Amino acid sequence: MTTIKELNRDFFIVAHRGASAYEPENTLRAIKRAIEIGADAIEIDVRISRDGYAVVIHDETVDRTTNGTGKVSELTLRELKNLDAGLGEKIPLLNEVLDYIAGKTVLFIEIKVEEAIKPTLKEVEKRNLWNSVLFTSFNKEHLIDILNYNPKALTGLIYIKHTDGIIRAKKIGAKAVLPFHRLATKKAIAFARKLKLMVIPWTVDNFNIAETLKSHGANGIVTNMPDTMLKLKSNQ
C-alpha cells in the first residue's frame, strides 16, 4: 500500500480528478488512466446524493459533466447512475473508487460539502486507509471535523486567495497546504515548509511553472496532465 509518507520522499504528481485532460473527470476511466500513466496520487471530489450516498463529482450540479441537469444533492443514487458522465462512464460511488484503487496509490479526497464528511470517513475507516488518504477542503471547519473524528487523519487546506492559509492550516493541525499555484511563491513555500507543512500547488498544466514550483521547494503539484509532469521526478 502506498502511503503519504512514502509519497513525500520525492517531488510527486497528483492527477487532478484523475487524468482529466484525457478522460472524463472524476470517473473510474480517468482514475485508471492516471494509474497507468504512473501518477503518484489521484485527487477526487466527494458530494452526497439525495439519499445519502457519497458520490464522486466536482460541481454542485450534474450539468457540466453529464448529460443530465440538476443538483447532486437533489438526485437519488439511481438517478445519478442513469447519467452519462462522458464516454459512457457513470458517476462513481466513493466506495467504488476506494475498492478500485485498493491501495495502489495515494488518494486526495476533496470534501465539497459538510454532509460528505461522515460517509467519507466511514468508507476510509472500513478499509483502514488512513495513511494513504489526504482529506482536503477549502473549508477549515470540514478539516477540523475530520480531525475530531480521527486526530491521526491527514488533512490539507486548499486556498485560492491571498489569505493566512498557511497559518490557518498549521493551527488546526493540517499536514499540507494546497494553494492556487500563483500564490505559491518561493517565500510562501519556504514559510510553509519551515512549519513542517507539505506544499502542493494546483492546478499546474504548464511545465515551466511546475519546474519553478519544484525549484522553490514545493513537495508536489496537482495537474490535469500527469504524464507531462512526471518528467520532473528525480527518478525519471
Tell me how far CA of residue 118 lies from CA of 53, 60, 65, 114, 131, in angstroms: 11, 18, 25, 8, 18
Choose the catalytic residue: 58, 142, 162, 181.
58
Beta-carbon count within 10 A of 102 CB: 11
Q: Are 117 and 146 in contact (CB under 8 A)?
A: yes
Q: Are 83 and 64 in contact (CB under 8 A)?
A: no
Q: Is 181 a catalytic residue?
A: no
**Can you tell me the distance from the alpha carbon of 90 to that of 82, in angstroms, rounded to the nearest whole number?**
7
Of 10, 16, 4, nearest to 222 (Cα)?
Answer: 16
Q: Is 58 a catalytic residue?
A: yes
HSE, CB side, 13 Å, CA atoms: give it for residue 124: 24
Active site residues: 16, 58
